[in-house]
Amino acid sequence: MPASLSSAGGFAASPLMAMPARRSTGVMGARRPALPMLPGMGPATTPSAALARSYYTEGEVFGTTFMYTTNMMFWAGIVGAVAFRRNLIILLLSAETVMLACNMNFLFTAAYLNDITGAIMSITITTIAACETAIGLALCVAYFHMRSATDVEALNMLK
């Protein structure tokens, strides 16, 4: 394992990196076959091969995991807004989930690229989400006091 992946306290330190090595014997005691060599994993035979990267960097490994996580959060918010579109509170929570996923995406990209623009966008999105939550919940409370329901279908009666 490269030193950059096993160093503690790196960009995204993980307890998975401190896992023990793969056992050489199986459950029944038989010797396991060696793992196949992937391109770039063997010993460096040429000077250009010594400079080639054999593993992904720490940021790339955890970056893709983080991007997949925020992507799932984003689509969970979209599906929640579509599937539960009759309940006003669920719609607000789904919008917050989508904004949180975008916010986390901007923050990770800013950290990965070492750029402040993503952090500025994250602060902007957080401000917009706070305003949207305050106004949305105030309207939801006012509507609930009038109709004793949070059904979105009857919102056109407020005209």
The whole-angstrom separation of Cα 57 and Cα 2 is 9
Q: What is the DSSP letter of 20?
A: P
Question: What confidence tens digit (pLDDT) does each residue in 93-148 have?
Answer: 999 999 999 999 999 888 888 889 989 999 999 999 999 899 988 988 888 888 77
Q: Report the CATH number of the 62-158 domain.
A: 1.10.287.3510
Question: What confidence tens digit (pLDDT) does each residue in 32-69 have?
Answer: 566 666 665 555 555 554 555 556 666 677 778 888 99
Q: List the one residue out of 76, 122, 124 whose CA is nearest residue 98.
A: 76
- Give the domain ranges of the chain: 62-158
Q: List the one residue out of 104, 105, 97, 92 whose CA is nearest residue 77.
A: 97
Global pTM value? 0.58
Q: Which contiguous run of DSSP H or E holds residue 43?
A: none
CA 157 centroid distance within chain = 40
